[in-house]
Homo-oligomer: A and B are copies of this chain.
Amino acid sequence: MPAPAQQPSRPAPVLALDLGGTHLRTAVVDAQGALTARRRTRSPISQGAAAVVEAATRQLDETRVAHRATGGEPPVALGISAPGPLDPVSGRLIDPPNLHHSLHGFALGPALGDALSLPWSLDRDTNVAVLAESRFGAGAGFPDLVYVTVSTGIGGGIITSGRLLTGGQRAAGEVGHISVDMDGPICGCGARGHLERLSSGTGIARSAHEALDTDVHAPVLRAIAAREAPRPLEAVHVDEAATAGDAVALDIIARAIRAFAAAIVSIANLFAPDRIIVGGGIAIAWGDRLLQPARDAVEAHAFRVQAARVRIVPAALGDDVGLIGALPLVAFGV
């Protein structure tokens, strides 16, 4: 039995903000990871920096007031989960894709910390997620964890010997941008055959569109694309076509699953973790269709020590992960 992850002393409670692409979530997290005064609204992220600060400040204030009304202690710090890449030291977002231009380089941490008169900690969503799962979720009690989210994109966070693997400027852990197919299709980052290009929702949809741009025989996929037009296909539609027996869609989905399995073997060999924790919309939707081939590949091909040690498990904390992680984030600091 390995030693549990080393835990620094934890200030609590913490005011938590999860700034996602779809939702703006807030809550207060206590020392046991329990949430009070939870709020969820539509994310203002596409409207720019001023809208984000205004909406987040208002919602955090409401959360704080509601928490006080329950008799809770006042929060001692603000913990923020936001899309990466970002710089946790300066609190600035760097160049997160699909965000309003005014957020590029915006010092979100200081802006919200000033507005709420609280010390702040900020990290990218996947690092916050692995801290949450490590403390209260699927990784509790284990020192070596890799968290992978398979969703619109693919990201990750890594804990090794009980500590967040940060690398320079806390930028480490980008598990979506590792090669699995050096001759494969070009990823958003420009490299060929990265995991995100093959196994993310965006990548799966893109493969389907690229296939339909040729004269390949994919009648079901074409019919679904026509039905959805002018909206572009999403991964769920490719999966629908595959379920209906469309050979092209089946091939794209099978390749996504095989690419994920190959990447998980790489991750097991590199990190020798106790748990590889898989979250995100596609992982939730597909479940063991995604995870079991990865388990089989690790059993068959990873180093013996690594294969014997690791379990590949679903994330445990669901949509609350970005809020719960604010507690260990604030404790961890930068």
Which listed segment binds B: A32-40, A265-273, A317-325? A265-273
Closest-CB distance, A56 to chain B (whole angstroms): 24
Task: Decide: A181 and B182 in contact? CB cutoff 8 A.
Answer: yes
- Complex: how many Å from CA A209 to CA B182? 22
Q: Which residues of B have CB within 8 Å of A274?
A: 168
Query: Within the complex, which residue of B85, B95, B297 is in contact with A191, where a contact is CB–CB below 8 Å?
Result: B297
What is the oligomeric copy number? 2
Task: Decide: B182 and A180 in contact? CB cutoff 8 A.
Answer: yes
Task: Decide: A179 and B265 in contact? CB cutoff 8 A.
Answer: yes
Residue A64 CB within 8 A of the other chain: no
Which listed segment binds B: A74-82, A109-117, A215-223, A299-307? A299-307
Q: Which residues of B have CB within 8 Å of A297?
A: 191
Task: Decide: A272 and B85 in contact? CB cutoff 8 A.
Answer: no
* A174 touching B309 in the complex, CB below 8 Å, given contacts A181-B183, A183-B181, A297-B191: no
Residue A284 CB within 8 A of the other chain: no
Q: Which residues of B have CB within 8 Å of A303?
A: 85, 171, 174, 177, 189
Give the nearest-CB partner of A259 in chain B.
B182
Q: Which residues of B have CB within 8 Å of A174?
A: 269-270, 303, 306
Beta-carbon contacts under 8 Å, A178-237 to B = 178-183, 189-193
Task: Decide: B160 and A165 in contact? CB cutoff 8 A.
Answer: yes
Q: Which residues of B have CB within 8 Å of A300?
A: 190-191
Query: Footprint of B on A, CB under 8 Å?
Result: 2, 85, 87, 94-95, 144, 158, 160-161, 163, 165-175, 177-183, 189-193, 258-259, 262-263, 265-266, 269-274, 297, 300-306, 309-310
